[in-house]
A and B are shown apart, each in its own frame.
Chain A
Amino acid sequence: MNKLLQYTVALIFGTVLSTSCKKSFLDEKPLDFYTPENSLQNSTEFQAAVNYLHNRERNLLWGGINLDANFALRYATDFAVNATDYNPPVKLNDYANTMVPTFNVPQVIWEANYTIITNANVIINRAKISTKLSDAEKKSYTAQALFFRALSYRMLANLFGGVPLILEEIEVPRRNYVRATRDQVYTQCKDDLTLAIATLNDIDKVADGKVNKQVAQHLLAEIYISLNKPDEAITAASSVISNPAVALMTDRFGRRKDKPGDAYSDLFELNNYNRTSGNKEGLYVIQSDYLNPASAQRDVIQWAIISDLGSLTIRSVVGGVEKALPAIMGYNDRLSGRGVGWIRPTSYYFYGIWKDDFNGDMRNSKYNIVRDFQIDGVAADSPDFGKWFVADGYAKKTTAFGDTIRKWFPIIRKATISQGDFPVEYYKTDASGKPIVSPLGGNVLINASENLFKDGYLFRLAETYLLRAEAYIMKADNQKAANDLNVLRTRAKTTMVMPAQVTIDFLLDERMRELGAEELRMLTLTRMGKLYDRDIKYNEKSGLTIKPYHNLWPIPFSEIERNTEAKLEQNPGY
């Protein structure tokens, strides 16, 4: 009994003591995440932070952001219309009523770029104070971050004009931002890139996909054009072009060089983007590997820009009755992976820009733009089987309105991959597990074939020539401009352009021929102030409502609303 009492008393005191009020008991210990204090110190950690910048840039360019926002960088320009909201025109097809300050697209693009900028600023700031980086590492990470910061400010300045310049790591959120001028923003880009170029390695000294001196010089050339400094632009572009490590790919190369195709189509084959394939043209290659966990983001371009062929029907007589039947058995790797026809290139892109040399220009070859296909969606004994959809007049007979806009338009090959390069699991199989093959050849693909997984170009050398040509045009040096354009046209085995023909509009056409579906056309047109001019001429839908003030996007309304302690001026017209 006494013992029990003793034990009890001991127990009580024991528990009270063990639970006594120690403040440290309430200390918070993160178990599964890092804090800035313990994980932005050494080289590995800075590399991870730079990886994130690449990741965000890819996310922005490949449609990991809101899809409308991604598409808006390409359509509602002279290049394409929105095929799903066509009639009646809504979204950016109805440009005037949609491109308003409350529209989410400017907001999404704004946010994506400031995310890159603020994260770049963290690297720049922390590299300065890190005690674990060598001086060379500090300079290298800073230079890479400066490149991304400039890249983002360039996108913002092109689209919006002057935007707030944030150059420090933000430790206390602010609400008192004001816009810098467009020139100030470009000047900042110039300063950042100049600083970066001094440190960055040449392209042949860095791993594929990494930031390098040549891509920074390429971007700097564009920035100088925006700053109206053509001479400096020419110098910057020339230093890229003259570097022996880079070259235009004028001959067949890469994995499929022995298969039907041409030098231009080789540029866009799977695994032909990086320098390891022999490609010397890419300056910044956006990286992706099938099934690599660091490349979960697909490029939406194939899904968006290939027509919705799977839903295309023809009228066919079966047993004496005319029926609607599918035009194809299924997506076929001879043609492309699955597309849904969201972005539909303008008729100017499909026909207008090629009319001078429709058959001669390699960039319009059957390996690069497929303009017809054979019908295999009907029974093999049907008279329609094997007929050509366009050549045999089926396209003309389609009655459903959507068919002509969304379900069928020419296939831009650079947006997809080639027969045999799809993983076997993309092949559609029959009940016994055997791949289904069209009687006309080619494997039928499953819907997952919409997930494109090849690399992409942000910048390649062909564009450097175009930038230098643009700088020469600014100086009215049409001869040299023509020379640069003809470098590309020579590779394309098309006719030469005469200096007298060279105008800014010709240059814009040439950019579209060379970079169609690659370049972010909206950035090019807003940079030059040509969005209104070109849309009204060439865009079937947004051209109907666009106004001159649309040459700049509106500052997102919510940013103006949230910035309560200072005024963010709206662009005129909005």
Chain B
Amino acid sequence: MKNRLSFIENFFFNNEFSKFPRFLFLILFIGLSSFLHGQQNIKGRVTASDTALAGATIQVKGGNLTTQTDVSGNFTISAPSNATLLVSYVGFGTEQVRVENRSTINVQLRSNGQDMGEVVVVGYGTQRKKDLSGSVVRADMTAIEESPNISLGSALHGTVAGLNVGAVTTAGSDPTITIRGRTSISGSTSPLIVLDGIIYRGNLIDINPADIGSVDVLKDASATAIYGSQASNGVILVTSKVGRSSKKPTISYNFTYSLQDIANDEMLPEDGAGFIRRIGDRYLSESRTGADLLTPNPNWDPASKFYGPEILAGYQNKVENNWWDLLTNKNPAIQNHNISVSGRTDLSSYFFSLGYTDQNNVVINDSYKRYSYRINLDTKITNWMKIGVQSFMTVSDVSAISPSIGNVIGIPPQVPYLNADGSYILQPYRGILNPFLQMDQKDLDKRNNLFANIYADIDIPFIKGLNYRLNFAQNLIDGKRYNFNSYAQNFTGEGYKTNSSQYAVTLDNILTYRRTFGNHAINATVVYGIEKRKFENTTARSIRYPNNVLGYNRLDAGQAGLQTSSSTAWQEQSLYAMGRLGYIFKDRYIFTGTVRRDGFSGFGEANKFGVFPSAAFAWRLTEENFLKDNISIINDLKLRVSYGLSGNRTVGRYATLAKIESSVGNGYLYGDGATAGVGQRVSSLSNSNLKWESTKSLNLGVDFSLLKNRLSGSVDYYIANTFDLLYNIDIPVLNGFGSIASNIGKLKNNGLEIIINGTPVETENFSWDVSVNFSRNRNKVVSILGRDVNGDGKEDDLVSSKIFIGHPYGVAYDYNIIGMWQMADFKAGAIPAGFTYGTYKVADLDKSGTYSAAADRKILGYTDPSYRFSFLNTLRYKAFELKLFMNAIQGGKDYYYGQPGTTLANPDNIYGSNLFKFDYWTPENPNSRYRQIGYYTVALGETFSPYVQRSFVRLQDLTLSYNLPASILKKVKLSRVKVFLNGTNLWTSTDWDGWDPETGTGLDVGAYPLLKNYSVGVNLEF
């Protein structure tokens, strides 16, 4: 003890920390008092909802002795064996715990409706939420935990203001995720995903959502800048579960079963009569007579328009097939099983889990299976060193080929699919392979994802608060894609095997110094690390099989000389150093500064490294006496301001090098029966100046908690300016290339995010919680090419790319539809050339009498949403809980425009395929939204069609759950049983045409439907 003290004395008196004598005094006091009174040392851990609480205060009741928990929630305190400990934390109640001769005391704090004391993950470390100066939001994972979300991404849908998650429609796929507004045109707009401290490059869907303890979203530059050149789209920090704070293992089993159905049944294909009717609507002047074309033409024979003989025969034999019913699952279902074992001993904690997911969507073979395993372990091997591992393995399987959805909808009902002998017709219509045979391929599509982060955590001896952590993480993703289609290559067969392997290794050295000296708290982090990624794949392919029974397992059975192999590979390296200093004075003034230096192999020779600094300041007003003493309704109030620089690695690997493209497909042969020769060309010029895009952003925020924490929330306003935007500038194709990438453009975003949590009612048996998220972003193109050729003093718009300076990126710029040309106009001869009855009447903006792209288009609106909000109501009555989650994206007057009709077939093709119903013009339906299907105005363009807003309000989740009361649980020896019913996507209100406004798919035969789910589930814990 003496040695140690003298060391500390030396340390502090010989450096800058000697300014804090009070601190030293405290240490001495603690040391002395424990020595003098002979009290016992008590160790323990403070947690709240399974999460460690760092900085919780432990006080011996009636005494002056206090301590605080460390990063892992652990504390040590000396107290008399009969003492009582007061454990407290802001936002939580104070717990009184009797020592009763115990030497280990674990305390679980209950939230009092507020979680201001929560520890959030901030990248290379954690922080108490109350100490945050940047915009970091922890997602409420409980909001929609009962819904059958296969991807962790989908489980975040609508839970965080400013985190925009799309809807998914196909099995085993991840939603698109963006944070705040668009900061890139050419590059990725997806946030960086960090899993257990390691940048994660795999698919989010490979992470079993059941294994995830928390998700934190970094939104402003102060929070994201520590990820430097990859941070401008925001960062999502995913943290897996750890062993809980109890000696007894916790075994938990969750099960859900969901039935699925399409959310919107207006998109089902028409029946046979509908198909025939539409042929008539395609040929209005032939199927109808009379001046108004309202009288059916008795001589009209739709069969004269049939495409090919197959349908003609089917029509004459009165065949009527419902292809939708034939090619979709009757009871598509999702099954989910998760089992985990977790616990903690004095030295170790562990979490093991197994997960199984089996998803079958509506279209046959649109399926996904996932097997996931996780092991999280840590153990103290000395009292100053902990080693551990966070690891998972996921096997995912999306094997099997679905019939193309275009065929499911498009093949006319009259087309037969069986021969007289009951076998499948090979090509029932227009040379299309029979969808039943299309599904008949041997197909294997599996992915193994292995991830392990092995770490050592060392509390550096002799320097209190100094911690060194070494992360060594590896991620190996193996893909297998095997396919054998005996109908390909004109029924001679084609098989291939592709094996791919992606490997990433990360090595992070993290040095943390965290200490409190009286009124001063310091939290400093230094990181130095590297990341290396490699990828390679190999494909072997052969065609024309004399005997195909062995399928892809015998590729050499294909015709000799026509067996090909190909391979690709890449690698990239990153190197980075980061420093962060957090300083808190009197719990009141919070300062955080970070700087990161990032090097990436993909940047041009001239710009290998970038530096990304940020700074933030927060002021907790409630710690000031004038508030603390005078205004009791305010429990917490914090103002935040941050400013910083972050980047986007728009420039991918190899983007700056000159390339030669070489392939046999670009090659040639000389003579009949000659060998194929390779062809090669220079495919890109070197461009060594390319670098990352940069975003400077300012964030202003308020966090508040009022009325005994019954009402809390935060408001953030931000401005983000992106510059060095990578844009492919058009150059004359005379150069042999049509464009060249350059860091040239500028974008600006500003936005507002509001999060409000309230508890309007709270009684012993009944409570009602409400959370509202609101976000709004405004995007503006500030500059693109910086050219003013027309000399008006303003930068020119890039009309050909529909980019307008001063307007958002994503503009509905087109002719303005003011109505439809009607039969009356036609008879009056009032319809201009190129138009006819039932075509769009557009505004002649320049009053020239003609319609031209140059003079008659205008900005009709923007494609971005105006605002998004979500609304979670949680009602609890005794053991029942009802959750209702509404989600909405709105366009207001000018925003969120889409063009649902662009994918409709042109007159040449629309009569040959079946389709769903939609609102097109006929003489009988003159006030339609879409033009007649037999003619389009060439001047307006083949795909020209109305712009429709995608605004919607959706009942995204509705859950009723019941927790078995403790009395029953005791009898069945379980610690927790919850049963629930859940429905997702039950109701949507929108004006959009198509499967779904949120997915943005319009009148598109090739798009997959959004599904709704009805689930039952049970959670057991023993």
Q: Which residues of A contact B (CB under 8 A)?
A: 1, 4, 8, 11-12, 15-16, 19, 21, 23, 25-37, 39-40, 45, 47-49, 51-52, 54-55, 58, 84, 88, 90-91, 94, 97-98, 102, 107, 110-111, 114-115, 117-119, 122, 164, 166, 170-171, 173-175, 177, 207-210, 271, 274, 276-277, 287-289, 291-296, 310-311, 313, 323-326, 329-330, 377, 399-400, 423, 425-426, 428-431, 446-448, 455, 558-559, 561-564, 568
Report whether B800 and A171 are in contact in the complex, using a CB–CB cutoff of 8 Å: no
Contacts of B740 in A (CB 8 A): 173
Contacts of A324 in B (CB 8 A): 301, 303-304, 306, 312
- Closest 5 CB pairs between A and B? A447-B431, A118-B736, A294-B676, A326-B309, A425-B490
Report whether A48 and B509 are in contact in the complex, using a CB–CB cutoff of 8 Å: no
Report whether B312 and A325 are in contact in the complex, using a CB–CB cutoff of 8 Å: yes
Q: Interface-forming stretch among B171-179, B422-430, B1000-1008?
A: B422-430
Report whether A559 and B732 are in contact in the complex, using a CB–CB cutoff of 8 Å: yes
Give Cα distance in the complex from A12 to B467, angstroms.
13
Q: Is B702 interfacial (CB-CB < 8 Å)?
A: no
Report whether A287 and B733 are in contact in the complex, using a CB–CB cutoff of 8 Å: no
The residue among B657, B664, B668, B730 with the most chain A CB atoms within 10 A of its own CB is B668
Contacts of B301 in A (CB 8 A): 324
Report whether B682 and A276 are in contact in the complex, using a CB–CB cutoff of 8 Å: no
Give Cα distance in the complex from A181 to B853, angstroms.
31
Report whether B908 and A84 are in contact in the complex, using a CB–CB cutoff of 8 Å: yes
A44 to chain B, nearest CB (A): 9
Output the nearest chain B residue to A57 by Cβ-Cβ distance.
B668
Report whether B666 and A52 are in contact in the complex, using a CB–CB cutoff of 8 Å: yes
Contacts of A558 in B (CB 8 A): 730, 800
Contacts of A294 in B (CB 8 A): 664-665, 667-669, 676-679
Report whether A118 and B730 are in contact in the complex, using a CB–CB cutoff of 8 Å: no
Report whether B529 and A313 are in contact in the complex, using a CB–CB cutoff of 8 Å: no
Number of interface residues, chain B, beta carbon within 8 A: 103
Report whether A48 and B677 are in contact in the complex, using a CB–CB cutoff of 8 Å: yes
Give Cα distance in the complex from A8 to B661, angstroms.
49
Contacts of B601 in A (CB 8 A): 26-28
Contacts of A15 in B (CB 8 A): 470, 507, 509
Convert B506-548 into 0s and 1s, putting 1 for each residue whose CB lies closer than 8 angstroms to a CB of A: 0101000000000000000000111000001000000110000
Convert B559-579 into 0s and 1s, putting 1 for each residue whose CB lies closer than 8 angstroms to a CB of A: 000101001111111110100
Output the nearest chain A residue to B425 by Cβ-Cβ distance.
A431
Report whether A55 and B567 are in contact in the complex, using a CB–CB cutoff of 8 Å: no
Contacts of B682 in A (CB 8 A): 36, 40, 119, 122
Give Cα distance in the complex from A97 to B833, angstroms.
11
Known: A54-B668, A294-B677. 11 other contacts (CB 8 A): A8-B456, A21-B575, A28-B656, A52-B666, A84-B908, A107-B733, A271-B672, A287-B668, A291-B562, A431-B419, A448-B490
A39 to chain B, nearest CB (A): 5
Known: A4-B382, A111-B733, A324-B312. A45 touches B680 (CB 8 A): yes
Contacts of A91 in B (CB 8 A): 938
Convert B662-697 into 0s and 1s, putting 1 for each residue whose CB lies closer than 8 angstroms to a CB of A: 101111111111101111111001000000000000
Report whether A52 and B667 are in contact in the complex, using a CB–CB cutoff of 8 Å: yes
B905 to chain A, nearest CB (A): 13
Output the nearest chain A residue to B602 by Cβ-Cβ distance.
A28
Report whether B530 and A25 are in contact in the complex, using a CB–CB cutoff of 8 Å: yes
Output the nearest chain A residue to B605 by Cβ-Cβ distance.
A28
Report whether A34 and B662 are in contact in the complex, using a CB–CB cutoff of 8 Å: yes
Contacts of A26 in B (CB 8 A): 573-575, 599-601, 603, 608
Report whether A16 and B509 are in contact in the complex, using a CB–CB cutoff of 8 Å: yes
Report whether B509 and A94 are in contact in the complex, using a CB–CB cutoff of 8 Å: no
A459 to chain B, nearest CB (A): 17
Give Cα distance in the complex from A506 to B962, angstroms.
93
Give Cα distance in the complex from A182 to B740, angstroms.
29
B832 to chain A, nearest CB (A): 13
Report whether A292 and B679 are in contact in the complex, using a CB–CB cutoff of 8 Å: no
Q: Is B828 interfacial (CB-CB < 8 Å)?
A: no
B466 to chain A, nearest CB (A): 13
Report whether A426 and B490 are in contact in the complex, using a CB–CB cutoff of 8 Å: yes
Report whether A562 and B731 are in contact in the complex, using a CB–CB cutoff of 8 Å: yes
Give Cα distance in the complex from A91 to B942, angstroms.
11
Output the nearest chain B residue to A172 by Cβ-Cβ distance.
B685
B351 to chain A, nearest CB (A): 26
Give Cα distance in the complex from A428 to B431, angstroms.
10
Contacts of A35 in B (CB 8 A): 657-660
Output the nearest chain B residue to A117 by Cβ-Cβ distance.
B736
Report whether B731 and A173 are in contact in the complex, using a CB–CB cutoff of 8 Å: yes
Q: Is B126 interfacial (CB-CB < 8 Å)?
A: no
Contacts of B661 in A (CB 8 A): 33
Output the nearest chain A residue to B936 by Cβ-Cβ distance.
A90
Contacts of B423 in A (CB 8 A): 431
Query: In the complex, which of the residues B427, B670, B800 contacts A446, with contact meaning CB atoms closer than 8 Å?
Result: B427
Q: Is B11 interfacial (CB-CB < 8 Å)?
A: no
Report whether A32 and B674 are in contact in the complex, using a CB–CB cutoff of 8 Å: no
Q: Is B489 interfacial (CB-CB < 8 Å)?
A: yes
Output the nearest chain B residue to A401 by Cβ-Cβ distance.
B286
Contacts of B660 in A (CB 8 A): 33-36, 39-40
A6 to chain B, nearest CB (A): 13
Query: In the complex, which of the residues A52, A84, A209, A559 contacts B681, with contact meaning CB atoms closer than 8 Å?
Result: A52
Give Cα distance in the complex from A232 to B938, angstroms.
47
A40 to chain B, nearest CB (A): 7
Contacts of B628 in A (CB 8 A): none
Known: A173-B737, A311-B307. A289 touches B662 (CB 8 A): no
Give Cα distance in the complex from A36 to B316, angstroms.
63
Output the nearest chain B residue to A313 by Cβ-Cβ distance.
B304
Report whether B800 and A561 are in contact in the complex, using a CB–CB cutoff of 8 Å: yes
Contacts of B603 in A (CB 8 A): 26
Contacts of A562 in B (CB 8 A): 730-732
Query: In the complex, which of the residues A55, A174, A313, A447 contacts B666, with contact meaning CB atoms closer than 8 Å?
Result: A55
Give Cα distance in the complex from A325 to B309, angstroms.
7
968-1004 of chain B: CB within 8 A of chain A: none
Convert B434-476 into 0s and 1s, putting 1 for each residue whose CB lies closer than 8 angstroms to a CB of A: 0000000000000000000000101000000000101000000
Report whether B657 and A28 are in contact in the complex, using a CB–CB cutoff of 8 Å: yes
A91 to chain B, nearest CB (A): 8
Contacts of A207 in B (CB 8 A): 670-671, 674
Q: Is B36 interfacial (CB-CB < 8 Å)?
A: no
Known: A31-B571, A173-B731. A48 touches B304 (CB 8 A): no
Query: In the complex, which of the residues B573, B577, B669, B678 contacts A295, with contact meaning CB atoms closer than 8 Å?
Result: B669
Contacts of A448 in B (CB 8 A): 431, 490
Give Cα distance in the complex from A559 to B660, angstroms.
25
Give Cα distance in the complex from A310 to B665, angstroms.
32
Give Cα distance in the complex from A115 to B426, angstroms.
41
Report whether B670 and A330 are in contact in the complex, using a CB–CB cutoff of 8 Å: no
Report whether B736 and A119 are in contact in the complex, using a CB–CB cutoff of 8 Å: yes
B387 to chain A, nearest CB (A): 10
Q: Is B550 interfacial (CB-CB < 8 Å)?
A: no
Query: In the complex, which of the residues B575, B577, B657 contacts A25, with contact meaning CB atoms closer than 8 Å?
Result: B575
Give Cα distance in the complex from A97 to B832, angstroms.
14
Contacts of A313 in B (CB 8 A): 303-304, 306, 312
Contacts of B530 in A (CB 8 A): 19, 25
Give Cα distance in the complex from A227 to B444, angstroms.
63
Contacts of B677 in A (CB 8 A): 47-48, 51, 294
The residue among A29, A33, A110 with the most chain B CB atoms within 10 A of its own CB is A33
Output the nearest chain A residue to B574 by Cβ-Cβ distance.
A26
B434 to chain A, nearest CB (A): 12
Output the nearest chain A residue to B490 by Cβ-Cβ distance.
A425
Report whether B528 and A25 are in contact in the complex, using a CB–CB cutoff of 8 Å: no
Query: In the complex, which of the residues A16, A32, A45 contacts B528, with contact meaning CB atoms closer than 8 Å?
Result: A16
Query: In the complex, which of the residues A28, A174, A400 contacts B735, with contact meaning CB atoms closer than 8 Å?
Result: A174
B742 to chain A, nearest CB (A): 10
Q: Is B787 interfacial (CB-CB < 8 Å)?
A: yes
575-599 of chain B: CB within 8 A of chain A: 575, 577, 599
A99 to chain B, nearest CB (A): 13
Query: In the complex, which of the residues A40, A51, A84, A111 contacts B668, with contact meaning CB atoms closer than 8 Å?
Result: A51
